[in-house]
Amino acid sequence: MNRTNSPALREGARPLLRSLWLEWVAPLALMLAVVSPLKSSIIDWNWVPTGSMEPTIMVGDLLLVNKLAYDLKVPFTTIHVTAWSDPGRGDIAVFFSPADGSRLVKRVVGLPGDTVELRNDILFVNGRPQSYALEDPSPYRRELPEDPNPLVIREDLGGRSHLIAVLPSKAARRSFGPVLVPQRHYFMMGDSRDNSFDSRYFGPVARDRIVGRATAVIASFDPSRLLLPRLSRFFTSLGSAAPTAPAS
């Protein structure tokens, strides 16, 4: 007789399976049913694998993404239900790349109808150069290994101040345009200007490709130090004028 198929064993297994369903499977399924739509259309998070937004955002940062910043979408789609605002100049936007569909994090530097130009790393918007001031690079030098002497500069982008990095020894596209940003499109650039694959390469980003706005760093782990946590960056806002410097 095959004991594995005996009625007694099957009867004994039923309470165990019922307990497993009630205590584990059903709660997990319910949690996924609730969390997945919320993550899809309301709030999300984004790990940062590259240094294209340094020094504002570091490799290993976990970002909070507000998907309700501009509009409401049907869960699991890019279909807009309604919109109440549009990305502003200086926003840190999360969007799907026109080049390959990957999810990117960049800064909005050009709005629909703007003319954007880059001249030797100086950004011009509608023919006007943005304001710049040199900052002390020492707190950020270890986070910018692509260049032994990086420049950290405060850029005033239409009244909103943030830091950018320039890497003089790196081959980069330091001049571009001018280009006219089409309607319903936005020109995106990384804060690490010489280390970013952005609208200079794949063009302006259509409005319906924008997922939301990155608003804060939830947590941060340094991949160059065996994922040692950067505690000074935990729960810090990305909307402040001066980003938190990395721990030395």
Catalytic sites, residue numbers = 52, 106
Reference 150, options 160, 142, 158; nearest CA is 142
Question: Measured between alpha carbons, how far apart are the two ends of the chain, in Å?
Answer: 70
Report long-range pairs for 150-156 (Cβ below 8 Å, ≥24 apart): 152/55, 155/123, 155/130, 155/131, 156/130, 156/131, 156/132
Reference 52, options 88, 86, 102; nearest CA is 102
Cis before residue 55, ω within 30 degrees of 0?
yes
Cα 230 to Cα 149: distance, rounded to the nearest angstrom:
23
Cα 113 to Cα 119: distance, rounded to the nearest angstrom:
20
- What count of Cα atoms within 13 Å lies in the side-chain half-sphere of residue 223? 12
